[in-house]
Amino acid sequence: MPLYPFWKIRSLLALQYRTSCTITSGNRRKTVTNTEDARFRNCERRIRDALADLLQTKSLTDISVSELSRKAKVSRATFYVHYDNVGDVFDELVGEVMDNVLSFEERFSCENPGCAMHEKPRYCERVRSEKKLAGVVREARFFPSVMALAWEDPDAKTDAATRGINPVVMRAVRLFQMSGCHAVASSEFAQRNDWPRIRRAIDAFIEGGLRALEKA
Amino acid sequence: MPLYPFWKIRSLLALQYRTSCTITSGNRRKTVTNTEDARFRNCERRIRDALADLLQTKSLTDISVSELSRKAKVSRATFYVHYDNVGDVFDELVGEVMDNVLSFEERFSCENPGCAMHEKPRYCERVRSEKKLAGVVREARFFPSVMALAWEDPDAKTDAATRGINPVVMRAVRLFQMSGCHAVASSEFAQRNDWPRIRRAIDAFIEGGLRALEKA
């Protein structure tokens, strides 16, 4: 009687996980890097959710790949197919927090005071009210990671040029505005009942600042 | 022959220090808490200068009372006559950094854009260019300590009331503005050759923001 093939034992062991994150093709285990594949994306989702959960109670620097993989119910090997380290997962969560947030450029392109009052949430408000990703927002790495995302934004350069504003000056003002917002939205002010009033004042301040910058 | 009195031995030992920081009255050592006394103030000056020096190369949390006293050439006992802990000394250094800086209220009371352009240095510029107290500015505790100073300022409340602005809103805006300034002035932007241009843009932004807040 031939030995039971090792890859079948591995796939039997994999049954303990409801969804496999590595894709088997035929009877040979194979790493697929087609990031369009639904199972691949589902696996990254599970790893990101596990990290968001862990960050509710502990700090990023205290979370190892082993612990994160265990929580996400994937093997360490599978983890490394998707990410290089825990920090990479964190940066994707930062991208989620920033998803759909009203950008500095959108505010800028608003010609009249108050015109940016459409449906998109502002950074200030998102930072304050985030529930599922609250642990991500609280991390010391959150703000530097947000700024790295903001720097890479190709629209920012175009927008600055269109308005005749030096792109370096524009970046510095963006750092100013986002740091200020971050400080207020993480402070005790954001937990007060009159937060909407505070937020409106900060919004008015930012819009007045942007108008003045265009004139300068 | 009577024994040489112990307090005289102590005062002989004290000669190793050029200036005594505790004040002797008659032949009994006595702690004087008259803070107007020049020797008392000189001693605090030496302790503060020693801390500023130490902070150029190490972090606040790594500096003990023993090390600081040694550097300032005072005894531990003398240190405790003046301060409760190293943090208290630090907070006084923060006050020195903020000395004579153009206040938020002074900016506010400026009716026209650009009118605040008088001789007083701004917070942004002070944070950027401080040399002797550079280590103080770099400490994580610096900004929270500055904000604590700002909260205690009795003029702030009066000013807010005069302008019909809710004092809580005014504090939140101040936190916004100073955090933003602090972030930019501690960033790589502040080391660029075109810093004056960046600083002018930030100033224009703040002034535009304040004007908008008055109208809101």
Is-contact A198 B166, C-beta < 8 A?
no
Of the candidates B192, B194, B205, the beta carbon closest to that of A209 is on: B205
Q: Does residue A121 sit at the B interface (CB-CB below 8 Å)? A: no
Q: Taking CB atoms and an 8 Å limit, are A208 and B208 in contact across chains?
A: yes
Q: Judge whether residue A162 has pLDDT over 90.
A: no
pLDDT band at residue A216 under the 50/70/90 scheme: low
| A156: amino acid identity, one letter | A
Cβ contacts (< 8 Å) between A213 and chain B: which residues? 201, 204-205, 208
Q: Judge whether residue A159 has pLDDT over 90.
A: no
The pair of three-digit structure tokens given for residue A166, joined into one six-digit string = 């030096």
d(CA B133, CA A55): 36
What is the Cα B143 distance to its own chain's centre? 10
Structure tokens at B171: 């504090």
Tell me how far the alpha carbon of residue A33 is from its chain's centroid. Answer: 22
Q: Is there a contact between B90 and B145 (Cβ–Cβ < 8 Å)?
A: yes
In three-state secondary structure terms, A147 is: helix
Euclidean distance between CA atoms B91 and B136, whole angstroms: 9
Which of B175, B183, B198 shows the shortest C-beta gap to A184? B175
A210 touches chain B (CB under 8 A): yes
Looking at beta carbons, which residues of chain A come within 8 Å of B113? 212
Q: Under the phi-then-psi rule, with left for phi > 0, alpha for psi from -120 to 50, and beta for the rest, what region is B24?
A: beta
Residue ranges covered by each domain of chain A:
6-85, 104-215
A35-51 pLDDT per residue, tens: 556 666 789 999 999 99
Q: Is B176 on the interface with A (CB under 8 A)?
A: yes
Match 């703000």 to its residue by tokens: A143
**Looking at this predicted complex, what is its ipTM?**
0.71
Alpha-helical (H) ranges within chain B are 6-13, 38-54, 65-72, 76-82, 86-97, 104-108, 123-129, 134-138, 142-152, 154-162, 167-185, 195-215
B157-to-B102, B153, B171, B176 alpha-carbon distances in Å: 17, 8, 9, 17
User: From the list A178, A181, A197, which residue is nearest B169 (CB)?
Assistant: A197
pLDDT digits (tens, 9 = 90+) for B145-174: 888 887 777 666 666 666 777 888 888 988
Q: Which of A205, A206, A213, A215 to mutate to test the interface with B (most CBs of B within 10 A)?
A: A205
Q: Is B210 on the interface with A (CB under 8 A)?
A: yes
Q: What is the pLDDT of residues A36-94, one digit of tens each?
A: 566 667 899 999 999 999 999 999 999 999 999 999 999 999 999 999 999 999 999 99
Please compute the mean of the pLDDT values over residues A137-159 and round it to a whole number.
Answer: 79
Chain B contact for A172, CB < 8 A? yes
Q: What is the CA radius of gyration of chain B?
A: 22
d(CA B142, CA A41): 43
Most B CBs within 10 A among A107, A176, A177, hence the mutation to make, goes to A176
Q: What residues contact A18, with CB distance under 8 A and at least 6 apart? A: A73
Give chain A positions within 8 Å (CB) of B202: 172-173, 176
Q: Which of B178, B202, B208 sits opposite A172 (nearest CB)?
A: B202
CA neighbor of A81 nearest in space, from A29, A151, A134, A147: A29
Please state which CATH number belongs to domain B6-85.
1.10.10.60
- Neighbouring C-beta atoms of residue A78, cutoff 10 Å: 20
Res B35: pLDDT? 55
Q: How far apart are CA A72 and CA A79, in angstroms?
A: 9
